Structure 1
Amino acid sequence: MVEQQRQRVEQEMTKMVNELDKEYLRRMQADMHRCAAKCCDNTSVSLESVQRCVENCGNPLTKAQGYVQKELENLQNRLQRCVMDCNDTVKDKMGPNPSETEINRYTLMFEGCAVKCVDKHLELIPTVMKAIKTVLTSKENQSQ
């Protein structure tokens, strides 16, 4: 059951990353390479100037990738805290020497709680995606 939930989260997060990559990050990466190529085409400037120019070309992509990573980590951390709260709640209810029947009941209680956490956080993905897309759109517009 827990493995199934982990796979659900992993699939949704992968889907989210792939969508962001295709819609925003890949285009930003292509822009970065075109910009860097222009820097290298300029033969009238110093090596240091070319290197600085190339670094500047990569800044928007680096910032966008860092932002996406931070948002994904925040979502994962929230989910982990929720599941940890489920674990703590069950531990608090369980006595020092639970019987096999009690262990089974508490296991089911934990799994039910964990599933609710996963459901709740997967429902947040569209809202998080919308916010990320808004920020990435503004970053794209700033770099043009």
Structure 2
Amino acid sequence: MTSADAMAAQENITKKMTEMVDELDRTRLRKIQLQMHRCSVKCCENDAASLEQTQRCIEKCSQGVNNAQEYVQREVGHFQNRLQRCVLDCQDRAKDKLGPNPSELEIEDVKAGFENCAIKCVDSHVSLMPDLLKRMKKFLGSST
């Protein structure tokens, strides 16, 4: 494994994460936003409501979007934390293998081992993404 392989793995998970969030936006979040905007329009069309009542109405309309965004951020954050912990474990293992005065060859060997471990972390987490997407879609589908 090379640094180029590690870079490719990082680019791959970034691309997959972007694709996942984009799909979630297209299939679930936009519908929730549309509901919010329609609800807010009704608040603004009520000529009998005071400014304060209109503001409260609009805030209430926004709760679904806010909750959905918080949920997605929380799930994505948990996913990223798990990946980070995996890579940190690889880093700890690499540090444990190095003695007090490692040779260049030992350093290169440990570095290659770390990169291989980190790539495995990325690959295993990429394989978890379809289930994560399915779970988020299910949750967001039930909240609309």
Range class of TM-score, shorter chain: over 0.9
Distance 1:45 1:90 in 2: 65
Question: Secondary structure, in 3 states, of the residue corresponding to 1:129?
Answer: helix
* Counterpart position of 1:21: 25
1:87 aligned onto 2:97: no
Displacement of 1:46 after TM fit?
Answer: 1.3
Show structure 1 runs of 5+ residues with no match: none
Task: Give the TM-score of the pair, scaled to structure 2.
Answer: 0.94
The one-character-per-residue Cα deviations of 1:88-132 (angstroms, maximum 9, x if unpaired) are 001101111111111111111001100110011111101111111
Distance 1:51 1:66 in 2: 21
State the structure with bigger RCO (CA 8 A, min sep 6), 1 or 2.
2
For the aligned residue pairs, the C-alpha RMSD in angstroms reads 0.8
* Counterpart position of 1:126: 130
Runs of 4+ in 1 over 4 A off after TM superposition: none
The one-letter amino acid paired with 2:141 is T
Distance 2:104 2:43 in 1: 69
Show structure 2 runs of 5+ residues with no match: none
* Counterpart position of 1:135: 139
Identical-pair percentage = 49
The one-letter amino acid paired with 1:66 is E
Task: Give the TM-score of the pair, scaled to structure 1.
Answer: 0.94
1:51 aligned onto 2:55: yes
Displacement of 1:41 after TM fit?
Answer: 0.3
The one-letter amino acid paired with 1:54 is I
The one-letter amino acid paired with 2:17 is M
* Counterpart position of 2:101: 97
